[in-house]
Amino acid sequence: TVPAMRRPRLDNSVRLFTQGYAWLPDKRRALGRRTVPTRLGGLPVFGIEGPEAARFLYDEDHVRRAHAIPEPVQGTLFGKGAVHTLDGHEHRVRKAMFVALLMDDDRIAPLVEGVTAAWDAAVPGWVRREQVVLFEEARVVLTRAVCDWAGVPLPEDEAPAVARDLTALVDGFATGGPRHWRARRARGRREAWLARLVDDVRSGAATTPQGSVVDVVARHRDADGEHLDPHVAAVELLNVIRPTVAISWFVAFSGHALVRWPRYRKQLAGGDPAFAEAWAHEVRRFYPFAPFIGGRAPQAVEWDGERIPAGAMVLLDLYGQDHDADLWGDPYTFRPERFLDREREIGAFELVPQGAGDPRTNHRCPGEQVTVAVLSALAVRLARLDVEVPEQDLRISLRRIPALPASGMVLRVHGTSG
C-alpha cells in the first residue's frame, strides 16, 4: 500500500492543472529529456511520456490509483468510489461491468443509431434559429440519445438542463474557481437523481429494460459479492453517461477542423467509413482534451535513470505523447490521412487520448470504440450541414483545461446538403 504520505490537496491539484496542456511538454523541452522530475507542494511528481513510459505506468507494481486521484477531481469528474480509483482484483471486477456494457459492437450500434436520429431530429430546429452554438447543441443531442440507450428516463424538456450539468462535471475538474463549484453542485444533483433511480429499479418502483446500463449497474456484484451502494451505482452510471456527452468536445473540435481545413469537408461528407474513422482518430490525437493520467508509486521504482520514491506521483503526458514527433513525424499538422496511410495497426501504447494498453485489464478507457463510432457518425453529419460560419473567436487556449474553441463553434445552419 502507499505509505501515509500527504494527499494532494486542492491547491496542489489546481496548480497541477493551471499551466495547462503545455506544462509537461515545455518542461521536457527545457530539460532536453523525456522524463521530468518536479514537485508540487512537497510531493515529488514525475512527468513521463512515450510508449515505453506508458507500458511502465500501467504496471501496478509501479503505479496505483488508490489515494492518487485528488479529491477535487473525484468530487467533480469521476465521483467517489469510482472505477478510476480502484486497483487489482477490485478494479478488475468493476471494470468487467464496463467492458460488458461498452465494448460490444452489438451494444454500440443502437447507441450510434440513437445519436444520429437525435441529431437528424434537431437539425430543423437549428435551421429555424438565427445561429446555434455547436458544442451546446451536440451535448443535448448526446444526452437525449445516451439516456434513452442506457435506460435512464429523461423527460423531453429536461434534456438541456441535464446536458449542462453533465458537461459542467468535465468543465470544472481542473480549476478552483466558479466552474469548479458549479461542477460540484451538478454532481450532487445528478448523483441524487440516479441513486433514486437505482433504488426504484431495485425495489420494483421503476422499471428499466432488461440488459440496459441501468439494469446491469443496479444488479452488478462487486469483488465483495455485494451490490453497489446506490450512490456508487449512481457514480458509475454517470461514468457512462457523462463521458458519452463529453464527445460534444470532439464534435466542436471537428467543427473547428472543418473551418480551418475546409478541403476535407467533401471527403468527410462522402461518408466513407474508413475516412470517418481516420478523422475521429486525428481529432482525438490533435486536439487537447484529457491532459494526463497518473497514480502513485506503491514502492520505490526506477524509470529512465530516475529514482521514483514510494508515494511519488507519476503522470503520463497524454497530450504530449499525442504530439511526440518521434511517433507522429509532423504532430502539429492536422492530417487524418496519417491513419489511412499507416503500414501497421496503431500500437496499444501509441495513440493515447483515452489512455493506453489493454482496457479489459487496466484503466484504459472502455469507451474508446463508443467515442470513435459516435464521433465518426456525427462528424459525417456535421460535414453534410449547409452552414455559414459567422465571425467569432476560434482560438483554443492551451492554458484552459478542458480546452474548447472560445466561441463554442457558432454556426448558421441552412439545412443539410450532400
Residues that bind ligand HEM (CB under 6 A): 83-84, 95, 98, 102, 239-240, 243-244, 246-247, 289-290, 293, 353-355, 363-367, 370-371
Q: Specify the residue, 283 or 385, whose C-beta has the smaller distance to ligand HEM.
A: 283
Interior/surface letters 94-130, b for 16+ CB within 10 angstroms, e for the rest: bbebbeebbbeeebbeebbebbbebbeebbeebeeee
Q: Specify the residue, 23 or 98, whose C-beta has the smaller distance to ligand HEM.
A: 98
Least distance from ligand HEM to the Cβ atom of residue 203, Å: 26
C-beta of residue 196 within 8 angstroms of C-beta of residue 189: no
Q: Reduced to 3 states, what is the DSSP secondary structure of residue 8?
A: coil
Residue nearest to ligand HEM (CB): 367
Amino acid identity at 23: W
Cell numbers at 149, concatenated: 440507450
What values do phi and psi take at 323, rounded to 5? -125, 30
Least distance from ligand HEM to the Cβ atom of residue 359, Å: 7
In whole angstroms, give the CA distance from residue 285 to residue 281.
6
Q: Specify the residue, 22 or 389, whose C-beta has the smaller distance to ligand HEM.
A: 22
For 32: left if phi > 0, alpha if psi spans -120 to 50, otherwise beta; the answer is left
In whole angstroms, give the CA distance from residue 257 to residue 287.
9
Least distance from ligand HEM to the Cβ atom of residue 240, Å: 5
In whole angstroms, give the CA distance from residue 295 to residue 298.
9
74 DSSP 8-state letter: I
C-beta of residue 143 within 8 angstroms of C-beta of residue 169: no
Least distance from ligand HEM to the Cβ atom of residue 360, Å: 9
Least distance from ligand HEM to the Cβ atom of residue 337, Å: 22
Least distance from ligand HEM to the Cβ atom of residue 56, Å: 13
In whole angstroms, give the CA distance from residue 138 to residue 145.
11
What values do phi and psi take at 344, rounded to 5? -135, 165
Least distance from ligand HEM to the Cβ atom of residue 367, Å: 2
